[in-house]
Chain A
Amino acid sequence: MPVTHERAVDVGSKRTVFSRNGGDPGRVPALLVESLEFAYPDGHVALREVSLEIHQGEKVALVGPNGAGKSTLMLHLNGILSGEGEIEVAGLRVTEPNLPAIRAKVGLVFQNPDDQLFSPTVFEDVAFGPLHMGLSEDEVRDRVDWALAQVGMSDYADRLSHHLSAGEKKRISIATVLSMGPEILVLDEPSAGLDPRARRNLITLLSELPHTTLVSTHDMLMVRELLPRMVIMDEARIVADGRTKELMDDVALLEAHGLEHP
């Protein structure tokens, strides 16, 4: 599909037009979602006509009320759920045979660190991804060291996951996907449940990571500080997509979708 420089997104009667910042039309997008539709087995439709394009190096917020479909969309990005429509990650289509490659490219961090960290020790958890990528033992160890250093937790390899604080668990969660060398980080409500200091540390960490990033969150202050682009979802649809600065000023839009102006 031709990459256009401008794109309009339908927001009911209101149209938000934005121009992508930092996007280089010559490169393949880091993430491309084309009219994605998905219903859970119980019939509940969680995604309707969702289209989204994220360029390399972009940091994007995904906001919207509970039940909007944010988590469902994120689960599609590395093929855990598969609805109708097209998804491409760095030019590679998300299809069954591509899944191993896709899963190494998309670092998906789940909301609850107790779900993300399922191994007894930190080392085993951070090593899980690289091991399942078929890397050699030495390579796995190197990657674990590197990933833990990235999140500032080098001393934690031998710690037991259940002994960690919420903030530490969140950082280790991020390390568990960094060790796979992903091209895009997808974080589901990363600051939920953190105390102010842990939240501050997380924001600092995220601002230092060079990856293309998609973050779902209710933390509008973090969005304003960290994520220049904002996508609003409500009732299974993307209802707005634009510069954070501009959308934040549209109080009516925010309120219509249960969001607060920070």
Chain B
Amino acid sequence: MSIHVNAFDRFRAGESLIHRLDPRIKVVVTVLFIVSNVLLPDGAWLAFALAWGVILLTGVVADVGVGYTFKRSFVALPFALAAVTAIFAIPGRPLASVHLGPWDLVATDAGLIRFVSIVIRSWLSVQMAILLTATTQFPDLMHALRHLRMPRLLVAIVSFMYRYLFVLSDEAMRLLRAREARSARLTEGDGGGSILWRAKIAGNMAGQLFLRSYERSDRIYNAMLARGYTGQHLTLNPHEMRNCDWLIGALAVMLTVFLQVVGRL
């Protein structure tokens, strides 16, 4: 096991109500919440604030720690740079103008509101998704998606992917470390050799990893055959919807509907 295995793990073990909810309901509610965010109009500050309140409350009930979702909620923020241009894209009361190379950009109030709203929508949605993965084991998410009509084949592929993500990432890390060990210069500055040469080394590593993965998949296939695999991917789904799941689902629907109404008042 390596550091990376842990760095990849988003699940926070617990026994909370949220943890014990049926994963299907969790997936549905998460998607619903994100759709609701996307549908909220620009500048619906009250609704945004309430939505954040919902997240904080869920976080408390799930006992994952408010800091946990908050800390990770900024992963998507760098992407906000793409939306900076929205400030200059929308007609409205001009606030300032910038001349940048070929561009004549006029910032407007509506543009600014659009920009801030986009960032908030994204930030809220990311936090909900974080809560989902923090309270649901990935295999349970897969069961949920299977129930929600994701094709068996894709579920099988993703399940294998999840199992071997950690194994192959470790292999990739070992390859990278071996390269570093052999060329001290690569770790600092731009490294030795021409860019082409460096790219070739990296490509060889990818090729090597490809072959090892390919051969591993052969051995896995043999291990499956040895246990009677004939091409069907059979699984048992240990989940059953309980009344409490339906109740929470209904509550969540009402809540998002409420957010939509508030957002437009």
A–B touching in complex (CB under 8 Å): yes
Binding site for B on A (CB under 8 A): 75, 78, 80, 100, 103-104, 106, 108, 110, 112, 114-121, 123-124, 127-129, 131-133, 137, 140-141, 158, 160-163, 165, 176-177, 180
Say yes or no for B142: interface residue by CB 8 A criterion. yes
Q: Are A132 and B226 in contact (CB under 8 A)?
A: no
Complex interface: chain A residues within 8 A of B216 (CB): 114-115
**Majority secondary structure, B binding face:** helix
Say yes or no for B60: interface residue by CB 8 A criterion. no
Q: How far is the CA of A127 from the CA of B229 in the complex (A)?
A: 12
Q: Are A120 and B139 in contact (CB under 8 A)?
A: yes
Q: Are A133 and B226 in contact (CB under 8 A)?
A: no
Q: How far is the CA of A75 from the CA of B221 in the complex (A)?
A: 12
Q: How far is the CA of A177 from the CA of B223 in the complex (A)?
A: 10
Q: How far is the CA of A162 from the CA of B11 in the complex (A)?
A: 14
Q: Are A128 and B227 in contact (CB under 8 A)?
A: yes
Given A120-B139, A163-B1, A133 and B163 touching (CB < 8 A)? no
Say yes or no for B85: interface residue by CB 8 A criterion. no
A118 CB contact (under 8 Å) in B223, B232, B238: B223
Contact with A along B221-254 (1 / 0, CB 8 A): 0111111111010111010000000000000000
Residue among A78, A115, A119 with max Cβ neighbours from chain B (10 Å): A115
Binding site for A on B (CB under 8 A): 1, 5, 137-139, 142, 159-160, 162-164, 166-167, 216, 219-220, 222-230, 232, 234-236, 238
Q: Are A160 and B139 in contact (CB under 8 A)?
A: yes
Q: Are A120 and B223 in contact (CB under 8 A)?
A: no
CB distance from A172 to the nearest CB of B (A): 13
A-B contact count (CB 8 A): 88
CB distance from B202 to the nearest CB of A (A): 25
Q: How far is the CA of A128 from the CA of B221 in the complex (A)?
A: 13
Complex interface: chain B residues within 8 A of A75 (CB): 222
Cβ-closest chain B residue relative to A117: B163
Cβ-closest chain B residue relative to A115: B219
Given A115-B216, A121-B139, A132-B228, A162 and B163 touching (CB < 8 A)? yes
Given A118-B220, A120-B162, A162-B167, A131 and B226 touching (CB < 8 A)? no
Q: Are B138 and A120 in contact (CB under 8 A)?
A: yes
Complex interface: chain B residues within 8 A of A78 (CB): 226
CB distance from A3 to the nearest CB of B (A): 28
Complex interface: chain A residues within 8 A of B160 (CB): 118
A132 CB contact (under 8 Å) in B1, B137, B227: B227
Q: Can you identify 10 A-B contacts, CB atoms within 8 angstroms?
A: A103-B225, A108-B226, A118-B163, A121-B139, A123-B236, A128-B229, A132-B232, A132-B234, A158-B137, A162-B5
Q: How far is the CA of A104 from the CA of B236 in the complex (A)?
A: 19
Q: Are A119 and B163 in contact (CB under 8 A)?
A: yes
Complex interface: chain A residues within 8 A of B225 (CB): 80, 103
Q: Are A180 and B142 in contact (CB under 8 A)?
A: no
* Interface contacts beyond A118-B224, A140-B236: sample of 20 additional A-B pairs, CB < 8 Å, sorted by A: A75-B222, A100-B228, A100-B230, A103-B226, A104-B228, A106-B226, A110-B223, A110-B226, A112-B219, A114-B167, A115-B222, A118-B223, A119-B163, A120-B163, A124-B139, A131-B234, A141-B236, A160-B139, A162-B1, A177-B226
Q: Are A127 and B236 in contact (CB under 8 A)?
A: yes
A129 CB contact (under 8 Å) in B167, B219, B228, B236: B228
Given A108-B226, A112-B219, A120 and B167 touching (CB < 8 A)? no
Q: Are B219 and A110 in contact (CB under 8 A)?
A: yes
Cβ-closest chain A residue relative to B235: A124
Q: Are B142 and A120 in contact (CB under 8 A)?
A: yes
Residue among B5, B138, B142, B234 with max Cβ neighbours from chain A (10 Å): B234
Q: Are A161 and B223 in contact (CB under 8 A)?
A: no
CB distance from A36 to the nearest CB of B (A): 18
Q: How far is the CA of A162 from the CA of B1 in the complex (A)?
A: 8
Cβ-closest chain B residue relative to A77: B226
Q: How far is the CA of A165 from the CA of B139 in the complex (A)?
A: 19
Given A132-B229, A161-B163, A162-B166, A115 and B223 touching (CB < 8 A)? yes
Q: Are B220 and A120 in contact (CB under 8 A)?
A: no
Residue among A110, A117, A131, A158 with max Cβ neighbours from chain B (10 Å): A131
Q: How far is the CA of A180 from the CA of B227 in the complex (A)?
A: 8
Complex interface: chain B residues within 8 A of A116 (CB): 223
